[in-house]
């Protein structure tokens, strides 16, 4: 008797990754269980937020839009923190947000001696609770580092956070949710010295 097309035992599980913005690809694509292989897809307006087994950390690590953030989390020693049970809300700066920093600032922050400041900045993007877009209202939230961050309502119902605008929201994770922001959120307790100018050749 002919056998069906059952997958062989031990085949890797796949799941559809939650959405992150502007990946430039469309349509459903399976995601290998290894989070490093994750490819995220845009989520149509009004579509149901998919369930996932991927953590906040794994989604960030698996998206081409968050390569700079992923590197910064690793340099700060925070990758594993966002892979724990949580829950977390990550206001995730995409690569474009990091490009807005003054020239040399990111490279300076990634130096080992500046790790405390890098951790403070990244922790300022994390709230230790899962807050979907519908839960975000004007006011203040306490971040992972204990500092307050301000949400402000704008005309037309739009919302900003510390004057940063939101991109895609409600990127669901197993231990929280990700909302994309287009600007780095800078805690008031971090004062960065201007990067040293490169010597003339």
Instruction: Look at residue 136 and tell me if it is in a domain.
Output: yes
The answer to whether 58 and 34 are in contact (CB under 8 A) is no
The answer to the question of residue 101 being in a domain is yes
66-120 tens-digit pLDDT: 999 999 999 999 999 999 987 999 999 999 999 999 999 999 999 999 999 999 9
Specify the pLDDT at position 39: 32
**33 C-beta neighbours (distance < 10 Å), count:** 13
pLDDT band at residue 189 under the 50/70/90 scheme: confident
* pLDDT on residue 30: 29
**Distance, CA of 109 to CA of 168 (rounded, Å):** 26
Q: Is 5 contained in some domain?
A: no
Q: How many domains does the chain have?
A: 1
Which residues form the domain of 87?
Answer: 14-39+49-181
In a domain, residue 189? The reply is: no
* Inside any domain, residue 99: yes
Position 167 in a domain: yes
Structural tokens at position 136: 């975000």
**Vertex 87 angle, CA 85 and 90, to 5°:** 115
200 domain residue, yes or no: no
pLDDT of residue 86: 77
pLDDT > 60? residue 29:
no
Confidence of residue 28 (pLDDT cuts 50, 70, 90): very low
Give residue-wise pLDDT tens across range 129-178.
Answer: 999 999 999 999 999 989 999 999 876 668 899 989 999 999 999 999 99
Taking CA atoms, 58 is separated from 16, 22, 44, 104, 150, in Å, by 13, 18, 22, 27, 27
Is the confidence at residue 16, as pLDDT, over 90? no
Give pTM, 2 decimals. 0.73
The CATH number of the domain holding residue 171 is 2.30.180.10
Quick check: is 70 in a domain? yes
> Does the pLDDT value for residue 195 go beyond 80?
no
């Amino acid at each position: 008797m002919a056998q069906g097309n059952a997958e062989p035992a031990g085949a890797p599980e796949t799941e559809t990754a939650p959405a992150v913005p502007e990946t430039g690809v469309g349509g459903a694509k399976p995601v290998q269980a290894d989070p490093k292989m994750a490819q995220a897809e845009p989520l149509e307006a009004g579509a149901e937020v998919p369930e996932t087994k991927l953590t906040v950390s794994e989604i960030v690590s698996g998206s081409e839009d968050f390569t700079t953030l992923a590197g910064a989390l690793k340099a700060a020693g925070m990758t594993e923190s966002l892979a724990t049970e949580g829950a977390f809300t990550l206001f995730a700066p995409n690569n474009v947000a990091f490009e807005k920093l003054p020239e040399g600032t990111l490279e300076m922050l990634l130096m080992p001696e500046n790790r405390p400041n890098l951790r403070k900045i990244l922790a300022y993007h994390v709230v230790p609770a899962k807050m979907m877009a519908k839960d975000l209202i004007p006011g203040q939230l306490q971040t992972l580092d204990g500092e307050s961050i301000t949400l402000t309502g704008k005309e037309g119902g739009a919302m900003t956070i510390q004057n940063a605008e939101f991109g895609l929201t409600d990127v669901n994770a197993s231990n929280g949710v990700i909302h994309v922001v287009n600007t780095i959120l800078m805690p008031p307790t971090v004062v960065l010295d201007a990067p040293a100018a490169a010597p003339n050749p």
